[in-house]
Amino acid sequence: MTTDTDSTSVRRAEIRRGRPEDAARMRALRLEMLADAPLAFLETLADAAARPHNEYAARVAYTSAGPNNAQFVADPGGRLVGHAGGTVAPDEPGLTVIYAVYVTPTWRGSGLLGDLIDGVADWSRACGRPELLLEVVVGNDRAYRAYQRLGFKDTGVRVPHPTIPALNELQMRRPA
């Protein structure tokens, strides 16, 4: 269990790899993610909402085991409140690319972001990948500062946003 605190109470959320039985809750979290931060993810809310449940279930099953892809969730019981994925970098075998990082607004500032990144980092090291990389939309200063606090360093590399040509993303790295 991970302990997170806010000004009024102690909250707990287990950080763990997503499991097939989480598919409906992971779908609900995905729709929340896309509604709250549409520029941060690679699909639209409309596309995600139109996807049938069996596709979500298949994706969760695929990432629930093995060394190449994983999705970690923050589960306080009830609805999921955070997510971070990791995947092997095809051209850099010692690197895990972190993707789809999200913490629901009421849990922001609670330490949950660091706990999710730690979950991906632990998995990455166990798979023999000692380094992490993530991308942040240029101008998303809140996310940039949060990742800096977690030890990520701006590499100076800028890449086009994969779906919005007018935007760029910056790459950040740190040891797993």
Q: The domain at 14-175 falls in which architecture?
A: 3-Layer(aba) Sandwich (3.40)
10 Å CB burial of residue 17 (0-12, 13-18, 19+) is: middle
Rounded mean pLDDT, 2-19: 68
Residue ranges of domains in the chain: 14-175
pLDDT (tens digit, 9 = 90+) per residue, 20-60?
Answer: 999 999 999 999 999 998 878 888 899 999 999 999 899 99
**Torsion over CA: 145, 146, 150, 153 (sign):** negative
Please give the average per-residue pLDDT across 114-136, as a whole number: 97
Q: pLDDT of 79-104, one tens digit each?
A: 999 999 999 998 999 999 999 999 99
- List Cβ neighbours of 2 (8 Å cut-off, separation of 6 or more): 12, 13, 14, 15, 74, 111, 112, 115
81 contacts: CB under 8 Å, gap ≥ 6: 13, 29, 74, 75, 103, 104, 106, 107, 112
What does the pLDDT read at residue 3?
A: 41
- Average model confidence (pLDDT) across the chain: 92
